[in-house]
Structure 1
Amino acid sequence: IEWVIFDEIHYINDSERGVVWEEVIIMLPEHIGMVFLSATTPNHLEFSDWIGRTKKQKIHVISTTKRPVPLQHFLYAGKELFKLYDATSGYLPGAHGAAKNKLLPSSDKSKSGGRGGRGQPRGGGSSANARSIRTSGGDQGEWTKLINTLKDKTLLPVVVFAFSKRLCEESASKLTKLDLSTPSERSEIHLFLETSVQRLQGSDRELPQVLTMKEMLKRGIGVHHGGLLPIIKEMVEILFGRGLVKVLFSTETFAMGVNMPARTVVFNGTRKHDGKNFRDLL
């Protein structure tokens, strides 16, 4: 071995697995070169300095701020998408307030401005209502409207990151009436699933998890989390890679070393359990 490539090196900060990454870096022989890849390490210079001192070697840091695909941030509220940020203009003033105001009952909208002038939320009503907005799995109507909005704007396929296995399955199960597959796509999915399931033995082919996932996938909807059978996760990944899964509900498992073509990413909440406590993502 002459070189070791560490992809997603920011996982060295993981409370459970990070120590393994650290030990590998420390224990690798001096003659072995190392390449570290990450798009989300905020203190990359400090981290590089630590590696240089630990290995007694010169470290070269190569970075870029250019994104091949420009990033845009939206809030979805009241059947509408409100653009918060784009690469050209940066953060757009007023969009957050407009989205929040869209969620207020019509009787409260006049109160939300307080003394802030026309349409400028300043009173307590807006923030109080915003705090009451629940970041749960949402109801069937909400998900259907959101996905249809994304479809109309040609923003599919979408990965919806939920923060628990239960939320992934609950959210997907609410889309029983939604079919995103064309007849030819449905036929292709059916043939692929039947071939793949043959790898399972006997009664395993009739497991509830297998049957449920087959029915979802035929409609272009998938689920991906650590509680699924490995063969099911593999089927979901292959179909998503082919563009046949248009909506995927997933935990972080789908973001770990899986390179898949998604046009949109949706977060169904802003609080996540990190193994010890709940914390805000924003």
Structure 2
Amino acid sequence: MFVVALGGLVWTGVVAVGADSSVASVFASGIISGVVTLVTIAVSINQLVLSRVFGSPGKLSDRLDGSRDLRERVERLADQPSSPNDPAAFLSLLSTTLSERATAALSGIEQSATDSPAEIADALTDVAEYGRSINTQVEDETPITDILGIIVGSEYAMNIAAVRHLRNEYGESLSATTRAEMEALDELLESVAVVRQFYKTLALQQDLAILSRHLIYTGLTALFVSISMALVYRTETVMIPSSTLVILVPVAVGVVVSPIALFSAYILRAATVAYRTVSVGPFVPPGGR
């Protein structure tokens, strides 16, 4: 967009790029200092990512224990000896178990001799459909950022509130088997909430690590282009034909602006993810849906 916009201004004569223009001072002063600042930002981002990776043995053990507890809970509820290491496959197992347990609870209510309120059937149907919708969108080895996009909404929180309401309101009138299924649904939905936040952490860490690398690559390239463009100009003259400058200057500005565009794209995505996943529990702030 920068290249096209600036190229249009140059071709229409609104912006001058000839020997008597201020292109050399622009490339030599402000742009170079701005590029150096971006490289410094890349180093800071890299330090932020590394600070999340490092830790004492005690903290690292706590993280490992927390991950094991989550996996063991899902394995127990899914009646599986182990759970997949792939994040997409793990979420698929979790969502499949959620759908199956909700369907089992719904079948138990329908087979019960007592008449159950329609609210229970509607809520369990919604939970089962929520699990199926996640599972249909997840494929093995799906990138973590795409997985996060599937569970970024607030449906999990509404389902947690609905299941909790059913347990508190109608728990005494339900059979023991149905109450056990309700407890399992509550645990599974809590696991979705934890997985949602954990995947967000992984996705943002990966994005920031990739961003820091790309900022270094594009920043050094932009620095080289800025210095080269500043040295092309001499006092009242330029070392290349004026007809070439009409194309070269917009392209050079595009190269120089590319680190800023890259930084803006990644930060906007990280800010959007953080905004949509600010809640870890059943509370959903206004606008967080």
Q: Give the TM-score band, short-chain normalised.
A: under 0.3
More strand by share: 1
Tell which has more relative contact order, 1 or 2 (C-alpha 8 A, sep 6+).
Answer: 2
More helix by share: 2
